[in-house]
């Protein structure tokens, strides 16, 4: 899920930025500090979205930099269990596929790619034995988050499934919906015919 979070911190502004507008200098330092930042508490930082308030600066002896008590906002992505995500397949291996979901890739084990016996081909495609469905790089897919691990905070792991209703390759979902719509229309026509007979 994407969020905007508000935080407060003392932001160090290096002396080489003293000539700049204070808001721009603090924004530069915040951007440097939170570039590629990941936290178990609030997720993966995408960008600094706003500086709400900058307090008075103080200079600490033996440092030379100014520290500003700052309230700021960040855009973050925090993956949540049971969340449905949309993304594109970024890689396919013999053990599954990786789905690019914004700032991170989630992993779909081969057993979770579809309700079928799935095989991996040398061309980098996963194929369903009975359904004849295929999954390849760049396919747009919907998946559900089933596991999130911050064991290595700098490299969180996300487990995904596509074995539930209305999940999987978007084309599969569209085909399934078209089929159900046609079946419903056919059933409606048959009901109308039956009523006319009576």
What are the pLDDT digits (tens) for 111-144?
A: 999 999 999 988 889 999 999 999 999 999 999 9
What is the band of 198 on the pLDDT scale with cuts at 50, 70, 90? low
pLDDT cut 70: percent of the chain above it: 99
Predicted pLDDT at 19: 84
Query: What is the per-residue pLDDT for 138?
Result: 95
Q: Output 86 or 197, whichever has higher pLDDT.
A: 86
Whether pLDDT at 196 is above 80: no
pLDDT bucket at 7, cuts 50 / 70 / 90: very high
**Taking all residues of the chain, what is their mean pLDDT, rounded to a whole number?**
92
| pLDDT (0 to 100) of residue 90 | 96
What mean pLDDT is predicted for residues 141-162?
94
Q: What is the mean pLDDT of residues 177-196?
A: 84
Query: Which pTM was predicted?
Result: 0.79
Mean pLDDT of 39-45: 91
pLDDT of residue 18: 86
Instruction: Report the percent of the chain where pLDDT is more than 90.
Output: 68
Full set of structural domains in the chain with CATH: 2-77 (3.30.1490.120), 84-180 (2.40.50.140)
- Going by DSSP bridges, is the β-strand pair 105-109/2-13 parallel, antiparallel, or unpaired? unpaired
- DSSP sequence for the chain: -EEEEEEEEEEEE-GGGTTS-HHHHHHHHHHHHHTT-EETTTEEEEEEEEEEEEEEEEE-TTT--EEEEEEEEEEEE---TT-EEEEEEEEEETTEEEEE-SSSEEEEEGGGS-SS-EEE-TTS-EEETTT--EE-TT-EEEEEEEEEE-SSTTS-EEEEE--STT-EEHHHHHHHHHHHHHHHHHHHHHHHHHHHH-
């Amino acid at each position: 899920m994407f969020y905007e979070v508000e935080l407060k911190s003392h932001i160090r502004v290096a002396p080489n930025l003293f000539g700049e507008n204070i808001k721009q200098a603090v924004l530069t330092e915040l951007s440097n500090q939170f570039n590629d930042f990941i936290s178990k508490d609030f997720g993966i930082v995408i960008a600094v979205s706003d500086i709400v308030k900058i307090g008075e600066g103080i200079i600490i002896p033996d440092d030379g930099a100014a520290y500003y008590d700052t309230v700021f906002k960040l855009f973050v992505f925090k993956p949540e269990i049971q969340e449905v995500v949309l993304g594109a397949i970024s890689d396919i291996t013999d053990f599954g596929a990786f789905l690019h979901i914004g700032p991170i890739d989630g992993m779909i084990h081969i057993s979770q790619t579809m309700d079928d016996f799935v095989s991996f081909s040398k061309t980098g495609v996963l194929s369903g034995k009975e359904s004849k469905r295929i999954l390849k790089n760049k396919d747009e897919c919907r998946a559900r988050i089933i596991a999130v691990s911050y064991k290595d905070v700098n490299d969180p792991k996300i487990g995904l499934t596509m074995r539930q209703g209305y999940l999987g390759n978007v084309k599969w979902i569209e085909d399934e919906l078209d089929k159900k719509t046609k079946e419903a229309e056919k059933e409606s026509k048959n009901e109308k015919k039956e009523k006319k007979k009576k």
